[in-house]
Amino acid sequence: MFLRNSSRLISALPSSTILRHYHKNSFISKMSSLNATVPSAMPIDNAANEYRKRVLSDSSNEPVQSQKKGKKLKLKKYKAKKVDSTSPLGVLQFEIDELLNSENLTRKSVVNDISSILNDKVKDESSVTSKYHRVVTDVKVLSVSANGDGLAIIDNPVEDNKKQVVIIPFGLPGDIVEIRVFKTHPHYVESDLLKVIKKSDIRKDDLIKCKYFGKCSGCQYQFLTYDEQLIMKRNTVANAYKYFAPKLCKEELIPKIGDTIASPLQYGYRTKLTPHFDVPRKVKEFEEKPPLGFGQKGRPHWRTETISEGGSASILDIEECIIGTDIINKGMSNERKKFDEEFTKYKKGATFLLREHTRVIDSNTNVGKIIEEEEASKDSSNDNKISYIELNDEQNNKPLVKTCVTNSRQIVTEYVDGYTFQFSAGEFFQNNNSILPVVTQYVRENLILPDVNGESAPRYLVDCYCGSGLFSICSSKGVDKVIGVEISADSVSFAIKNAENNGVKNCNFIVGKAEKLFESIDVPNDRTSVILDPPRKGCDELFLKQLAEYNPAKIVYISCNVHSQARDVEYFLKETENGKLYKMDSLRGFDFFPQTHHVEGVCVLTRV
Ligand SMILES: C[S@@+](CC[C@H](N)C(=O)[O-])C[C@H]1O[C@@H](n2cnc3c(N)ncnc32)[C@H](O)[C@@H]1O
């Protein structure tokens, strides 16, 4: 989260009092404390006493009878759920603290009386809940979270001299807005954006392309210029290291964060979408078709002209997703037609897989025949026609045919950087094909080890969390041997086939947890570079310790969660014996998901 005016000033990251505070509380210093608990409302007992007094003095209330019968009033207690500190909720707590610090406030000054709300039985306007959950106007948005939500401070409606932190989806720093607060948590409240009274300088509503924008949980940034989106993402990277790598920040070990690398396509890029529907618990049989699409983000009113689009249920009925590729949208339209006829057969909610499948064909290939064969090989429950699009691959001047696959076991193909990749549609593969050549080239260039005494020496590569071999294969030229390790046996079987199909002979792949690598590694550390591309939760401590012991010459760490990446990098550099021998060469974001808040962090470490 950042204050807009300071957003362009990031070079070396500052250490701040708030960072020291986190450190003191061992948020960061111990890997074992990574499962931070969102602090519960501190005054729960006071509030409970207040509540007791209030309800027991009101003769119209049920609890009074309990008292008459001598029964002790039992109050519901708030139980904070454990959250991973690098998850969106965990990060929010850091962002809230930073905002409070900048406004000279403390957590105590924004604590909400959760107990009163939990135990509120009165249903009219005098209820404490209705005091909390109200419309507030003239709210100035102060900052934006890594999740793309605006943050602001408003007055506490029940306790004088206290404030509240409010989350405002689709609020931008500098906006003056009207909101409806609808949910209360110990240290913040959630709201819907009702009206933008005065627009922030960066708000460009005329850029919005999608009628569901502002309601759908998929995109957060369509109203920003693309340059502004890239700046936002750079700030997310900066803040991630500020929150999760405070020692590195304090010792100024983090290089100037590079500009975020743009995606060549800013719309129509997503090669995978997963629309879903819910079956409400009490419904035994559908009377009408449930909405099929993506989650709704609150109940906003600020886009009056499109407010009814997609309906008002928690899942929006979405016909087209503007960030999806053309063929994915065709597939979505097919699945929706099928769902029109078949929704009564479902007893519970389901998610539909839509995955793009691309093939380069010869100019004299009969596309109709390929499609017929594909239809014949589909699973028997799926008898609708396959959609396809014919295109020309501009780079290679060859015709392409694209289809949309819905069966998670079906094999799909993607072309990246001159290589062909196949994988099961339901397994992991990156979702934005247009940026992949840019990323694979960047990774390849940053892995290169220098010659020794002016002479070329052997070079080795280890690809941890290698999936179906994307980085292994794209970086295989110019190295003597590649070892990939990956937990999914299915992905590894594709990695082996992909290497074979691309004529790549120097790759070996291991099935297992990343640390399995160290059981049999036979390449010299001094001549080995390592790629890390773990899932959102980041690397295990056990793995990082062994990586530090192995002590490779270079590491390129790619991550879809810059917060867990920052935590891991700090742990590696500061908390492991050999990690201290490394220097962070570069750090920057890659924009895999334009229009959304997501950013992929790429960090390069060199042994010094
Ligand atoms: C973000 S994906 C990266 C895949 C690959 N690098 C690519 O770009 O296609 C993370 C991969 O890590 C794998 N994975 C998850 N936990 C793992 C573990 N403990 N050890 C090894 N691989 C793991 C997942 O199956 C997934 O393929």
Q: Between 244 and 81, name the one with better pLDDT.
A: 244
Q: Whose CA is nearest to atom 12 of ligand 1?
A: 465
Tell me the best of 486, 492, 547 to mutate to test the pocket of ligand 1, counting ligand atoms within 8 Å of each CB and taking the most: 486
Domain endpoint, select from 369, 393, 424:
424
* pLDDT, mean of residues 230-237: 98
Write phi, then psi, for 257 (nearest 5 degrees).
Answer: -75, 125
Is residue 269 marked as binding? no
The answer on 393 and 446 residing in a single domain is no
The answer on 244 and 278 residing in a single domain is no
Q: How far is CA 302 from CA 179, 263, 298, 392, in A?
A: 9, 29, 12, 41
ipTM of the complex: 0.99
CA 465 to centroid of ligand 1, rounded, Å: 4
3-state secondary structure of 335: helix
The answer on 357 and 277 residing in a single domain is yes
Decide if 80 is inside a domain.
yes
Decide if 512 is inside a domain.
yes
Q: Whose CA is nearest to atom 27 of ligand 1?
A: 467
The answer on 455 and 363 residing in a single domain is no
- Please report the atom of ligand 1 found closest to the CA of residue 536: 1
Q: How many residues does the chain have?
A: 608
Strands 507-511 and 481-486 turn out to be parallel
Tell me the best of 414, 416, 487 to mutate to test the pocket of ligand 1, counting ligand atoms within 8 Å of each CB and taking the most: 487
- Extended beta strands in 149-258, E state: 149-155, 163-169, 176-184, 189-198
Q: What is the pLDDT of residues 198-210, one digit of tens each?
A: 999 999 999 999 9
Q: Whose CA is nearest to atom 18 of ligand 1?
A: 513
Decide if 230 is inside a domain.
no
Decide if 479 is inside a domain.
yes
Tell me the best of 442, 462, 465, 536 to mutate to test the pocket of ligand 1, counting ligand atoms within 8 Å of each CB and taking the most: 465
What is the band of 29 on the pLDDT scale with cuts at 50, 70, 90? very low
Q: Which residue from 593, 285, 308 is spatially nearest to 431, judged by alpha carbons? A: 593
CA 514 to centroid of ligand 1, rounded, Å: 9
The answer on 466 and 406 residing in a single domain is no
The answer on 488 and 362 residing in a single domain is no
> What is the CB-side half-sphere exposure of residue 46 using CA atoms within 13 A?
7
State percent of the chain over pLDDT 70.
Answer: 85
99 is in which domain, residue-wise?
34-203
Is residue 533 marked as binding? yes
Gap between the Cα atoms of 111 and 248, Å rounded: 31
Q: What is the pLDDT of residues 294-323, one digit of tens each?
A: 999 988 899 999 999 999 999 999 999 999
The answer on 196 and 82 residing in a single domain is yes
Decide if 399 is inside a domain.
yes
Query: What CATH number should be reported for the domain holding residue 490?
Result: 3.40.50.150
Q: Which helix (H) or strand (E) holds 422?
A: strand 419-424
What is the band of 382 on the pLDDT scale with cuts at 50, 70, 90? low
167 with 142: CB under 8 angstroms?
A: no
Query: What CATH number should be reported for the domain holding residue 191?
Result: 2.40.50.140
Per-residue model confidence (pLDDT) at position 300: 85
Of the residues 216, 219, 466, 560, only one is catalytic, namely 560
Please tell me what DSSP assigns to residue 161.
T
The answer on 490 and 348 residing in a single domain is no
Distance of CA 322 to the CA centre of its chain: 19
Decide if 223 is inside a domain.
no
The answer on 464 and 377 residing in a single domain is no
Distance of CA 325 to the CA centre of its chain: 20
Q: What is the pLDDT of residues 30-56, one digit of tens each?
A: 222 223 333 333 333 444 455 445 444
The answer on 248 and 278 residing in a single domain is no
CA 532 to centroid of ligand 1, rounded, Å: 9
Domain endpoint, select from 424, 455, 481:
424
CA 492 to centroid of ligand 1, rounded, Å: 10
The answer on 556 and 474 residing in a single domain is yes
Tell me the two tokens of residue 483. Answer: 């070892």
Decide if 61 is inside a domain.
yes
Q: Note if 466 is an active site residue.
A: no
Q: What is the pLDDT of residues 144-165, one digit of tens each?
A: 999 999 999 999 999 999 999 9
- Please report the atom of ligand 1 found closest to the CA of residue 543: 19
Gap between the Cα atoms of 312 and 216, Å rounded: 11
**All residues at 6 or more sequence positions from 560 whose CB lies less than 8 Å from its CB, including other chains:** 535, 536, 592, 598, 600
Residues with CB under 6 A from ligand 1: 428-430, 465-467, 470-471, 485-488, 491, 513-514, 533-535, 560
Write phi, then psi, for 340 (nearest 5 degrees).
Answer: -55, -40
Q: What is the pLDDT of residues 533-563, one digit of tens each?
A: 999 999 999 999 999 999 999 999 999 999 9
Strands 460-464 and 528-532 turn out to be parallel
Gap between the Cα atoms of 299 and 567, Å rounded: 35
The answer on 452 and 388 residing in a single domain is no
Gap between the Cα atoms of 563 and 12, Å rounded: 17
CA 135 to centroid of ligand 1, rounded, Å: 45
CA 274 to centroid of ligand 1, rounded, Å: 20
What is the band of 393 on the pLDDT scale with cuts at 50, 70, 90? confident
- Please report the atom of ligand 1 found closest to the CA of residue 463: 6
Q: Whose CA is nearest to atom 19 of ligand 1?
A: 513
**Burial class of residue 207, CB neighbours in 10 A (0-12, 13-18, 19+):** middle
Tell me the two tokens of residue 180. Answer: 């409806």
Query: Beta partners for 604?
Result: 556, 586
Tell me the best of 428, 509, 510, 546 to mutate to test the pocket of ligand 1, counting ligand atoms within 8 Å of each CB and taking the most: 428
CA 278 to centroid of ligand 1, rounded, Å: 29
Decide if 16 is inside a domain.
no
- Please report the atom of ligand 1 found closest to the CA of residue 429: 9
Q: Can you say whether residue 49 is alpha, beta or left, with left for phi > 0 and alpha for psi between -120 and 50 degrees?
A: alpha
Domain endpoint, select from 377, 397, 424:
424
* pTM greater than 0.90 (yes/no): no
Number of separate domains in the chain: 3
